[in-house]
Amino acid sequence: MSQQSEDGKVLADIIKNVHRRLRQELKESGDSESSWINHCRNEARLKEYAKSMHQLATEHWERLRESNPDTSRINWTWSFLSNYFLGNGCEIQRKKSKLNIDWPKLMFKDSKISVLDVGSCYNPFKEFEELDVLPVDLCPALESVYQCDFLTVPVGEKTFLEDQSVLSLASSSFHCVVFSFLLEYFPSCSQRWTCCEKAQQLLMEEGVLVIITPDSKAAHSNSKVMRSWREALAAIGLNRIKYEKLLHAHCMAFRKTSIDPPTSEDRQLLASKMYIPQDFHSQSDSEQEENDHIKYTEEELVEGFTYLPMLND
């Protein structure tokens, strides 16, 4: 195994162990809020995670993106956004709705698409001049990314930024919210649901939520999970308008439309639909030790996507 692949395995273990610890801490406490607070206070762990993710993205995923652009989550997102907002994608969705109404004109500041990139790490969308990106992360890898705990940040009338931190985010102010490799980070359904509800509040009418989640299996292998997410998000007016299975990820886009909010009872049921298979895993000590010594093939380490907590991990 090459030195680069050896380095990749070290990064892989760091990332997977953080996710594993989060799930274990939630299981032990039974309280998603307290386990998340404790996680956010562990500055050393957060910084190590951010550094590892940054290295993987810039040293491994970019190599794959250059050699095989069709596998790139960044390329996929940009292609969708450019078609939807700058092409005829939005108009096509309006016609599909068959609503006999006068649709308002989409408004752009300085002719740019406003994007909130949650869990941005290093702001990978900065290369696209047509995008006005606000990159946020719990623990940014670069100073150009704003610190923000998306689970707890308030939604208000204006977006307030101070000293590279986000104090609040303005409702109905973004054309797009991006959750790229974000939702599987959280150890509970309720936290994933909170993120999606908040995204719905932040999007302007006809805005889109882009969700990308890692999975190297065939598209049908986790179809029940994807269908469950689709049903939950449709209940808050986020209708899926595009789905594509890339080699290592599910890529989805959800369009915001007006809808009556669900009741509190319905919200609890809907939150439970935002599950991932790991939520039901129970590892013994021996299984834990075995997983901590996963062997990666040379090809897998070059591709880099085994580093993430897949839906089948």
Which token pair is 45? 């762990």
- The three state secondary structure string of 279-296 is HHCCCCHHHHHHHCCCCC
Q: What is the distance between the alpha carbons of residues 215 and 192, in angstroms, rounded to a whole number? A: 17
Q: What is the distance between the alpha carbons of residues 119 and 167, in angstroms, rounded to a whole number? A: 16
Which token pair is 312? 């089948």
* Sign of the alpha-carbon dihedral angle for 93, 94, 97, 98: negative
Q: What is the distance between the alpha carbons of residues 251 and 242, in angstroms, rounded to a whole number? A: 8
- 237 annotated ligand binder: no
Token pair 């790991």 is at which residue? 278
Which token pair is 121? 């790490």
In 3D space, the residue among 12, 9, 32 whose CA is nearest the CA of residue 22 turns out to be 32
- 119 annotated ligand binder: yes
In 3D space, the residue among 230, 248, 243 whose CA is nearest the CA of residue 309 turns out to be 248
Q: What is the distance between the alpha carbons of residues 231 and 229, in angstroms, rounded to a whole number? A: 5
Q: What is the distance between the alpha carbons of residues 146 and 119, in angstroms, rounded to a whole number? A: 10
Beta bridge partners of 210: 178, 253
Binding site for S-adenosyl-L-methionine: residue ranges?
119, 137
Binding site: residue ranges?
119, 137
